[in-house]
Amino acid sequence: MKKLDEITKRMPSELNAFYRQKIDFIKNSIANYFPQKIDTAFIERVSGQATLYSPDVEGIYQTIFQPTQDYLDRGGKVLRPVLVALCLEAYGGKVEDFEPVFGAIEVMEDSSIMMDDYIDNSLTRRGGPCGHIAYGYPMANISSCTAFALSHYLFYNNEMGLADDKALLLLDRIAWEHIQMAFGQIEELYWTQSNVGDITVEQYLQETVARCAFLTFRGPMRYAGILADAPADDIKILERIGEYLLVGYHLKGDNLDMSPDSPEWGKVAGEDITTGRRTLLINYLLQSADQEEREKVEEIIRARTDDEEKKKLVYELVLKYDIFSKTKELAAEYNMLAKQEIEKLSVSDEYKTLFQQFTDYATAKRSM
């Protein structure tokens, strides 16, 4: 995992302290939820029924667990579990009472990242090879899809012994989110594969929310609110905050892909260009550039190139037309919308401040 000081260096003070207080507990939860050694009893537990025959435990571990474990071992910022802890405590919950939730949320995130990586044919992730590079496409597919399903065994098996109505509510929300995510994912794939060049801002934002809100912030905030018995009105507000946060976070990520604030631009950056992804940043550029420049950008995007000079040409045009300011401005709007919703929550000012600082960090302050 990245060094703690590196992760927290841009976090506002109260959020920084909260993060440091929770991170060891969260890391232990992840290790417990997705262990580095499994046996038949574990397989029966997560599947919810006895095995028919004697399973190949080693084969199951190597094909399902190990590729996903690589992602977990490299570590990210684990912002989603931290947000779950923040939501739980804001409504009087004790994080210790919900220990497996944090592991489930991070396994869900990392397994879905591996899916994105082989869909995009990315090369590296968190300083190491992507799953399909290290293990091949079939293995990466099996591992990511199965690990994503395993991220839900906590809820499917109701291992926390929740009341039936609460357990069913969580399962209902999970099923709904899966459908939304599929719609959003197929939209982005269509735009990329068909070289669609006239995506509106509204279409892009809808696709982004459908594809990413569940895994990024809406899902974790909704689950935490339900688990902590937050008022029904507050759960709806948490969902909206999660959506607004996601948009700002995603726009910040599009900017970071070009890495204007990173000294390592050109080594791992410009992946959206290489994958031919029609980000809002690229669409803003196509709208602003002259005809000759648009044709050149389209040519580069359609080529799915990893040529550094061509990626830098796009980068220079982004700077020429000040596209970063447009995406930053839109991210700032969603930051403001999230903060307006935070003020409506029936939680103490202490936790409103933490939510607001999380919003600032996610949409504006975070780095690669």
* Together in a domain, 296 and 229: yes
Report the share of the chain in percent with pLDDT over 70.
96
The answer to whether 362 and 80 have CB atoms below 8 angstroms apart is: no
Of 137, 161, 185, the last residue of a domain is 161
Task: Name the H helices within the chain.
Answer: 4-8, 13-33, 40-47, 57-60, 66-74, 79-90, 99-120, 131-135, 137-150, 153-156, 164-193, 201-213, 219-227, 232-258, 271-274, 280-288, 291-303, 308-320, 323-342, 349-360
Is 138 in the same domain as 274? no
Domain match, 167 and 143 both: no
Could you list the residue range(s) of the whole structural domain that residue 50 is in?
1-161
- Say yes or no: 216 and 145 in one domain: no
Residues 99 and 237 in one domain: no
In the prediction, which pLDDT does 272 show? 82
CATH number at 1 reads 1.10.600.10
Cα separation of 367 and 253, whole Å? 9
- What value does the mean pLDDT of the chain take? 89
Residue 265: pLDDT above 50?
no
pLDDT band for 269, please (50, 70, 90 cuts).
Answer: low
Answer yes or no: do 152 and 40 share one domain: yes
Both 124 and 218 in one domain: the answer is no
206 and 144 in one domain?
A: no
What is the average per-residue pLDDT within 88-106?
A: 95
Q: Per-residue b/e over 53-74, b at no fewer than 16 CB within 10 Å?
A: eeeeeeebbebbbbbbbbbbee
- pLDDT of residue 263 exceeding 80, the answer is no
Closest CA to 87 of 217, 183, 191: 217
Residue 264 has a pLDDT of: 40
Domain boundary among 141, 161, 181: 161
Section 160-182 average pLDDT: 92
Let me know whether 229 and 361 are in one domain: yes
- Angstrom CA distances, 141 to 109, 179, 335, stand at 15, 19, 35
Q: Are residues 185 and 153 located together in one domain of the fold?
A: no
For the segment 210-245, what is each residue's pLDDT rounded down to a tens digit? Answer: 888 888 899 999 999 999 999 999 999 999 999 999
> How many domains does the chain contain in total?
2
Do 171 and 255 sit in the same domain of this protein? yes
Burial profile 268-280: b = 16 or more Cβ within 10 angstroms, e = fewer: bbbbbbbbbbbbb
pLDDT digits 0-9 by tens, 47-75: 888 888 888 999 999 999 999 999 999 87
For residue 333, is pLDDT > 90?
yes
Query: For residue 262, is pLDDT > 50?
Result: no
132, 161, 190 — which closes off a domain?
A: 161
pLDDT at 127: 80
Q: Are residues 197 and 298 in the same domain?
A: yes
Q: Which helix (H) or strand (E) holds 129?
A: strand 128-129
User: Residue 295 — pLDDT band, cuts 50, 70, 90?
Assistant: very high
**d(C-alpha 269, C-alpha 53), whole Å:** 48
Q: What is the mean pLDDT of residues 312-319?
A: 90
